[in-house]
Amino acid sequence: MLMDFFILLKQELVIVAIIFLLLFINLGKDRSNESLLPLINVVLLLNVLLGFFGSKEGSLFGEMFHTGKLIILEKNILNLATWIISLLSFSWLRTHKHVIEFYILLLTALLGMFFMISSGNLLVLYLGLEMSTIPIAAAANFDLAKRKSSEAAMKMIISSAFSSALVLLGISWIYGVSGSLDFSVILLQGPDSPFRIFAFILLVSGFAFKMSAVPFHLWTADVYEGAPVSVTAYLSVVSKASVVFVILAFLYNAGKAFADTWYHILIVLSILSIIIGNLFALRQNNFKRFLAFSSIAQVGFIFIGIAGSSQVSSAAVVYFVLVYVFSNLAAFGVVALVSAVSGKENISDYKAFYTTNPLLSWVLTIAMFSLAGVPPTAGFFGKFFLLMAGAAKGNYWLIGIAALNMVVSFYYYLRVVKTIFMEENSQPIEKLAIPGASRLALYICLAGMLIAGLASCVYDYIYSISFGL
């Protein structure tokens, strides 16, 4: 019994242990960042590796917490992304005064996401949701002296508090009509009253808020622009991926009886997100804002996949998120390096970037190709599987709109590539020294983007452990 507890809660317990380790290091004598950062990165690598051993299916605390193969894989993806972000933020954190606090905030948020993904009860779901947003709002303010950073954190905390109030209203009504908070009880009752449907819509809109789907996206671009690059990367990759996993598990398990309701919600959200995300991405010059709107458009594609509601679609969504982690982190990695050294964050600053930094240019180019979905990269297969999964429902007009929008997205992704390679600039960004940690992270992302698409075993494995409606 006690053994079960340790094995099932393994990933959460490791994170808690790391947080305590960091607290104790903080208590001791002052260490230089040069000695601290490698240590933390190694610990996070161990955390990633430990996630692959000794997994087991089961549930704890009276069904409040449950875990399985797919959930463990999702947590491993989040662990991996956190480790890569930690490597990428090396050059930014090297001179920062509060390294340990930064990691404690990120890991606390990660712990909240783990509980959210594993939740089998609305109370745990809500606690995880809050635990994963409040620390990130604090982390968005991590450049204490910068005006934009505090503005971003303010916008984020107010809008996330508002969205969690909506979620709570939805949960309270679900409790009122069904008398329970367990997914297994809610699951049995269908949309027999408008009250219940409205409660369900409130819950889903709260999730859409955290995923920054249109029309709940207004905070996204501002927060992404103002927050430090590493926090932006964390928000757009880890935080978004965790909510995608949760919404997938929630809709396919607890929302089974509401399949018709959420199917229509998802279609509306996905069309709006794809079109508006694309249109606004066209006119951005700040790189982080550009990536914010591109990630809004990507969320629209994920919704198409979720709407397919079969085993294929759940596999396609998890696979797409894996690929998205690599491609988005590669792009953010380059932006983080450039911004840490030169402070430049505009796309127009990248003119003739290739003449001074060939390696970074290639990484950024492949990342853009992968985000746009050009065939040899994994991004193509990710989007292809998502559209296939959505097409299984037979709504070809939706797939048509999505495919047309992919063409639009080519314009702005390739505009970045054109700026790097083909435009002239008398003062290009100087040659950057890439720290070993960042180099390693960029190579991992590169390998992920190229191999995950061609090695079919990745998708096959995800498919074998996923489940449908």
Partner 1 sequence: MSSLSEIPLAHILFVSTALFFIGMYGLFTRKNLVTLLMAIELMLNSVNINFIAFNKYLYPGKLDGVFFSLFIITIAAAEAAVAIAIIINLYRSHQSIDVDDATEMKY
Residue 277 near residue 219 (C-beta atoms within 8 A): no
CA 264 – CA 5 distance, rounded (Å): 39
Q: Applying CB under 8 A, does 153 fall inside the site for partner 1?
A: yes
Q: Applying CB under 8 A, does 169 fall inside the site for partner 1?
A: yes
Length of the chain: 469
- How many chain residues touch partner 1 (CB under 8 A)? 40
Q: Applying CB under 8 A, does 161 fall inside the site for partner 1?
A: yes
Q: Applying CB under 8 A, does 63 fall inside the site for partner 1?
A: no
Among residues 173 and 384, whose Cβ is nearest to partner 1?
173
Chosen residue from 20, 23, 38, 179 binding partner 1 by CB under 8 A: 179
The least distance separating partner 1 from the CB of residue 151, rounded to whole angstroms, comes to 4
Most distant pair of Cα atoms in the chain: their distance = 68
Q: Applying CB under 8 A, does 222 fall inside the site for partner 1?
A: yes
Q: Applying CB under 8 A, does 126 fall inside the site for partner 1?
A: yes
Among residues 154 and 359, whose Cβ is nearest to partner 1?
154
Among residues 290 and 385, whose Cβ is nearest to partner 1?
290
CA 245 – CA 55 distance, rounded (Å): 19
Among residues 153 and 315, whose Cβ is nearest to partner 1?
153
Per CB under 8 A, which region of 83-91, 218-226, 407-415, 440-448 contacts partner 1? Answer: 218-226
Residue 346 near residue 286 (C-beta atoms within 8 A): yes
Burial annotation 52-61 (CB, 10 A radius, 16+ → b, else e): eeebeeeeee
Q: Applying CB under 8 A, does 221 fall inside the site for partner 1?
A: yes
Fill in the amino acid letter for 36. Answer: L
Question: If we measure between CA atoms, which residue out of 316, 340, 191 comes closest to residue 254?
Answer: 191
Per CB under 8 A, which region of 145-153, 241-249, 361-369, 392-400 contacts partner 1? Answer: 145-153
Per CB under 8 A, which region of 147-155, 336-344, 350-358, 402-410 contacts partner 1? Answer: 147-155
Q: Applying CB under 8 A, does 454 fall inside the site for partner 1?
A: no
The three-state secondary structure class of 46 is helix
What residues does 60 pair with on adjacent strands?
A: 65
Q: Applying CB under 8 A, does 162 fall inside the site for partner 1?
A: yes
Question: If we measure between CA atoms, which residue out of 93, 85, 133, 142 comes closest to residue 113?
Answer: 133
What residues does 346 pair with on adjacent strands?
A: 286
The three-state secondary structure class of 284 is coil
Among residues 182 and 423, whose Cβ is nearest to partner 1?
182
Q: For 66, which DSSP code?
A: E
Per CB under 8 A, which region of 29-37, 126-134, 254-262, 406-414 contacts partner 1? Answer: 126-134
Among residues 107 and 352, whose Cβ is nearest to partner 1?
107
The three-state secondary structure class of 181 is coil
Q: Applying CB under 8 A, does 396 fall inside the site for partner 1?
A: no
Torsion angle of C-alpha atoms 146, 150, 155, 156, degrees rounded to 10: 100
Chosen residue from 45, 96, 100, 175 binding partner 1 by CB under 8 A: 175
Q: Applying CB under 8 A, does 193 fall inside the site for partner 1?
A: no
Return the residues of window 15-54 that contact partner 1 according to CB under 8 A: none
The least distance separating partner 1 from the CB of residue 290, rounded to whole angstroms, comes to 12
Q: Applying CB under 8 A, does 150 fall inside the site for partner 1?
A: yes
Q: Which residues contact 376 (CB under 8 A, 6 or more apart)?
A: 369, 450, 453, 454
Q: Applying CB under 8 A, does 144 fall inside the site for partner 1?
A: yes
CA 455 – CA 415 distance, rounded (Å): 29
Q: Applying CB under 8 A, does 151 fall inside the site for partner 1?
A: yes
Fill in the amino acid letter for 147. Answer: R
CA 55 – CA 50 distance, rounded (Å): 10
Q: Which residues of the chain form contacts with partner 1 (CB under 8 A)? A: 123, 126-127, 130, 134, 137-138, 141, 144-148, 150-155, 157-158, 161-162, 164-165, 168-169, 171-173, 175-176, 179-181, 221-222, 225-226, 280
